[in-house]
């Protein structure tokens, strides 16, 4: 039998799938928060920006969904009617599928060729591109572009390379050992090279749990490169194919 073509570092997370949460917490522990705090925060921030744009997506591609921890937050936080989770790690998807048994509006795939074509309102991606080799990143963006309908949006969340604490946190996480982070301008250029139009770039997660009283100020600082992560929101032009 012919071997399936390699897809965006597909086996990298197979060996980490079962212990993913525990390994992730080695880095997040310094913040005093769990992964759910960050997952909910990303979706809440994105939801607010979509409301300002007058957009209510009904379906979403979660590109690099891992073990599916973001599915519930995306579906409930954005009011989605349909969710598609893609990850090249079959072991991770096995865990994800086990958490969504019986849900007919949820689909999982580890084959990028099986993603919808030109149908989806929104694509979401968190902390994935620093694991994709630079030579494969344009192909990954191309797969997302192909899945979106004209006018569809892509929310790319990445760890903030400008933030020194992020470097220290990632050094504590086994699966982040060889990660190659993108500066925000590199992420924007990568997306623009495919044809996406940049809507905004914003930074989030400035204050740890010890300073949570200051978190209402984060919105005022969202344009400054201070947060632990940033979001680049882009649009596929209406006249594109």
Helix/strand/coil for 122: strand
Q: Which tens digit of pLDDT belongs to each residue from 83-109?
A: 999 999 999 999 999 989 999 999 999
Distances (CA, A) of 8 to 44, 92, 201: 28, 14, 25
More confident residue, 240 or 50: 50
Q: Which tens digit of pLDDT belongs to each residue from 203-236?
A: 999 999 999 999 999 999 999 999 999 999 999 9
CA distance 163 to 12: 25
Q: Is pLDDT at 29 greater than 80 in this prediction? A: no
Q: What is the mean pLDDT of residues 8-16?
A: 51
Answer whether 192's CB lies under 8 Å from 220's CB. no
Task: Kindly report the backbone phi and psi dihedral angles of residue 127, in degrees, each rounded to the nearest multiple of 5, phi listed first.
Answer: 60, 35
Confidence of residue 15 (pLDDT cuts 50, 70, 90): very low
Q: Considering the entire predicted model, what is its pTM?
A: 0.91
Rg (CA), the chain: 17
C-alpha 17, offset from chain centre: 17
Q: Which domains does the chain have, with CATH numbers?
A: 20-235 (3.40.50.150)
pLDDT of residue 2: 34
Q: Is pLDDT at 12 greater than 90 in this prediction? A: no
CA distance 124 to 153: 9
């Amino acid at each position: 039998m012919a071997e399936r073509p390699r897809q965006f570092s597909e086996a990298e997370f197979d060996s980490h799938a079962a212990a993913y949460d525990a390994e992730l917490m080695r880095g997040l522990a310094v913040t005093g928060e769990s992964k759910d705090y960050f997952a909910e925060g990303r979706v809440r921030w994105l939801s607010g920006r979509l409301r300002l744009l007058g957009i209510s997506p009904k379906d979403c591609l979660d590109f690099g969904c891992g073990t599916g921890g973001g599915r519930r937050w995306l579906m409930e936080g954005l009011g989605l009617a349909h969710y598609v989770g893609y990850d090249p790690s079959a072991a991770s998807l096995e865990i994800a599928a086990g958490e969504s048994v019986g849900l007919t509006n949820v689909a999982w795939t580890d084959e990028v060729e099986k993603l919808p074509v030109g149908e989806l309102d929104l694509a979401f991606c968190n902390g994935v591109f620093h694991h994709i080799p630079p030579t494969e990143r344009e192909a990954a963006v191309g797969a997302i572009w192909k899945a979106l309908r004209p006018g569809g949006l892509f929310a790319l969340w990445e760890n903030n390379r400008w933030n020194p604490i992020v470097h220290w946190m990632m050094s504590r996480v086994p699966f982040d050992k060889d990660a190659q982070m993108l500066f925000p301008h590199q992420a924007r250029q990568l997306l623009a090279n495919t044809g996406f139009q940049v809507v905004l770039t914003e930074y989030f997660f400035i204050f740890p749990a010890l300073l949570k009283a200051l978190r209402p100020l984060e919105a005022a600082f969202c344009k400054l490169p201070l947060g632990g992560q940033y979001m680049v929101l882009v649009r596929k032009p209406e006249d594109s194919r």
